[in-house]
A and B are shown apart, each in its own frame.
Chain A
Amino acid sequence: MPKTPTTFYIVLIATVMLTGATGCSKKGVQSAGDQTSQPGTAQSGGSGTSSSSKSGVGSFPDTSMQSGSGGLKGLDKNPSEERVGAGEERLGGGSGAGSGTMLAKADPSGSAGRQMDEIRAEQAASSAAGLRDVYFGYDSWTISEEGRQALGRDAEWMKSNPSTMIKVEGHCDERGTAAYNLVLGEKRAKAIRNYLVELGVGANRLSVVSYGKERPFCNEHAESCYQQNRRGHLVVRTGK
Chain B
Amino acid sequence: MSGMKLAGAALGTVLFVAGAIGILESGAADVFLEATRPDFQKISLGVLGIQNGGGPEWLGGRLEEVLKKDVKRSLVFDLVDLPSLGIKVRDVGNGVGNGSKTVFKQAADNGVSVLVWGKAALKEGEKDSDVNMEGFVYDSGSDEVVGGKRYAGSPSVVRLMAHRFADELVFRYTGEPGIARTKIAYVSAQGAAREIYVMDYDGYDSRQLTADGFLNLMPRWSPDRRFLVFTAYRDRNTQDIDMIELATGKRWTVFSQGGLNITPALSPDGNFLAFASSHEGNSEIYRLDTRTKANQRLTVNPSGDLSPSWSPTGRELAFVSDRGGGPQLFLMSADGSNVRRLTFEGDYNAAPAWSPRGNWIAYVCRTRKEYKLCVITPDGQKRMQLTTGGGVDDSPSWSPDGRHLVFSSTADGKSHIYMIDSDGKNAERLTFEGTHNSAPAWSPAS
Contacts and interface: CB of A to CB of B under 8 A. Distances in A.
Contact of B444 (A38, A61, A65, A77): A65
Most chain A beta-carbon neighbours within 10 Å: one of B145, B191, B250, B252: B252
B85 interface: no
B342 interface: no
Contact of B294 (A52, A110, A237): A52
Contact of A174 (B181, B248, B297, B392): B392
Nearest to B290: A60
B397 interface: no
B204 interface: no
B351 A177 contact: yes
Contacts of A236: none
B395 interface: yes
A83 interface: yes
Contact of B224 (A57, A63, A84, A86): A63
B11 interface: no
A interface, how many residues as a size bin?
35 or more
A106 B150 contact: no
Chain A interface helix/strand/loop/mixed: loop
B338 interface: no
B260 A186 contact: yes
Contacts of B236: 115, 118-119, 209
Contacts of B146: 75, 77
B439 A63 contact: no
Nearest to B158: A84
B252 A30 contact: yes
B243 A64 contact: no
Interface in A142-181: 167, 174-180
B234 A90 contact: no
A151 B247 CA distance: 48
Interface in A94-149: 94, 98, 101-108, 110-113, 115-116, 118-119, 139
Contacts of A108: 211
B257 A177 contact: no
Contacts of A2: none
Contacts of A38: 253, 256
Contact of B270 (A30, A65, A176, A237): A65
Chain B CB within 10 Å, residue with most, of A33, A56, A61, A88: A56
Interface string B246-278: 111111111111111011001011110100101
B438 interface: yes
A16 B266 CA distance: 32
Nearest to B281: A47
Interface string A34-67: 0011111111101101111111111111111110
Contacts of A107: 211, 249
B250 to A, nearest CB: 4
B315 interface: no
Given A32-B245, A176-B348, A182 B191 contact: no
Contact of B238 (A41, A51, A80, A87): A41
Interface string B293-333: 11111001000101100000000000010100011000000
Given A177-B307, A211-B215, 7 more contacts: A31-B250, A33-B251, A36-B252, A56-B257, A63-B266, A89-B160, A106-B249
Interface of B: 132, 134, 137, 145-154, 156-157, 160-161, 164, 167-168, 171-172, 177-178, 181, 183, 190-195, 198, 207-215, 217-218, 222-227, 232-239, 243, 245-260, 262-263, 266, 268-271, 273, 276, 278-281, 283, 288, 290-291, 293-297, 300, 304, 306-307, 320, 322, 326-327, 336, 348, 350-351, 364, 366, 371, 392, 394-395, 410, 413, 438-439, 443-446
30 contacts: A16-B191, A31-B252, A32-B245, A37-B256, A41-B258, A43-B279, A47-B281, A53-B295, A54-B295, A58-B253, A60-B291, A61-B226, A75-B137, A79-B148, A80-B150, A83-B152, A84-B160, A85-B154, A88-B160, A89-B446, A103-B207, A104-B248, A106-B207, A179-B276, A180-B307, A183-B262, A209-B239, A221-B410, A221-B413, A237-B237
What 5 pairs across the A-B complex have the smallest Cβ distances? A15-B191, A75-B147, A112-B213, A104-B249, A33-B252
